[in-house]
């Protein structure tokens, strides 16, 4: 199958009946859509549709190609003068905005983001829209932590160098954070979130866990914490991301560490899966 699901491009051909777009329009692709008939689609929550299609899977060939076919409803016009490379980050930004919305983040809240890769960093940009009192980002890679600080995080902690629990206790004067976002699919990181989130605080899962997790539910119940799951985003979040693109252009551009051609994709994927490019945050494939 052809993978790839974060994409922007130029329309070259229109299907019958498409009226709001024209050939030559630069667009951002929303890479999933629901059946349009189930309860979740009817309520606008098509991210939960059981038969939804996702770009870059066997059911919908993806964007690591010169051409990709998408429904007109999944193609959004770019804001004026927006570079396509930055526009590709609308997708991960939408993931962060959806998680922030689900968390019910309020101004003045203290926040921790566990995992500061692309999703964690775009999540940080979403969190900062709500004027938090402090944001503590953690990661094992120095480059990611430097990026978090440059984008506006108040603190950045490498758990291999400092005890994250002690650092959060120091920063929050022993209380713990109000909201903790988990952007790493690790039981150990979930356990960490339970240690640093205050009683009655919220823990929001963004990372995709591939196996059952051994979460200590007593830590949720006895301290009346809330555990919130999030999956991708909906049109509301995608439109919010597009609206924010112009004001966040500089910040999003900082996340692009590599620009490669289509022919270099296999080698780069191999390097990333083997962690050979430790400074990589976001790799953009440019076809023109």
Cβ 198 vs Cβ 176: under 8 Å: yes
Q: Which two tokens stand for residue 79?
A: 């804001």
Provide the mean pLDDT of the chain: 95
End-to-end CA distance of the chain: 23
The pLDDT confidence band at residue 276, using thresholds 50, 70 and 90, is: low
Maximum C-alpha span of the chain: 62
Cβ 252 vs Cβ 125: under 8 Å: yes
**pLDDT value at residue 141:** 92
**What span, in angstroms and rounded, lies between the C-alpha atoms of 147 and 142?**
9
What tens digit of pLDDT does each residue of 215-249 get? 888 999 999 999 999 999 999 999 999 999 999 99
Cβ-in-10-Å burial (0-12, 13-18, 19+) of 59 comes to exposed
**pLDDT value at residue 277:** 66
116 pLDDT higher than 70: yes
Domains, the chain: 8-91+234-257 (3.90.180.10), 92-229 (3.40.50.720), 258-288 (no CATH)
């Amino acid at each position: 199958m052809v993978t790839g699901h974060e994409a922007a491009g130029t329309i070259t051909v229109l299907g019958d009946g498409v009226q709001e777009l024209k050939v030559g329009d630069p667009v951002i692709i929303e890479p999933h859509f629901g059946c349009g008939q189930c309860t979740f689609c009817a309520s606008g929550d098509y991210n939960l549709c059981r038969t939804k299609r996702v770009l870059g899977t066997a059911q919908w060939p993806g964007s690591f190609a010169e051409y990709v076919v998408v429904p007109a409803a999944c193609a959004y016009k770019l804001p004026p003068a927006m570079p396509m490379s930055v526009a590709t980050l609308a997708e991960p930004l939408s993931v962060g905005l959806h998680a922030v919305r689900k968390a019910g983040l309020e101004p003045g809240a203290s926040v921790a983001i566990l995992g500061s890769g692309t999703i964690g960093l775009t999540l940080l940009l979403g969190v900062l829209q709500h004027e938090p009192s402090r944001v503590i980002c953690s990661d094992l890679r120095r480059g990611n932590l430097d990026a978090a600080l440059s984008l506006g995080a108040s603190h950045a902690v490498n758990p291999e160098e400092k005890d994250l629990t002690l650092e959060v206790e120091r920063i929050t004067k022993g209380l713990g954070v109000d909201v903790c976002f988990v952007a790493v699919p690790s039981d150990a990181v979930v356990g960490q979130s339970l240690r640093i989130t205050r009683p009655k605080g919220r823990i929001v899962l963004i990372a995709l866990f591939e196996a059952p997790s051994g979460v200590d539910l007593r830590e949720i119940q006895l301290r009346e914490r809330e555990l919130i799951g999030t999956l991708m985003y909906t049109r509301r979040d995608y439109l919010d991301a597009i609206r924010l693109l112009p004001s966040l252009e500089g910040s999003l551009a900082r996340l692009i560490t590599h620009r490669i051609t289509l022919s270099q994709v296999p080698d780069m994927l191999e390097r990333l899966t083997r962690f050979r490019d430790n400074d990589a945050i976001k790799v953009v494939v440019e076809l023109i």
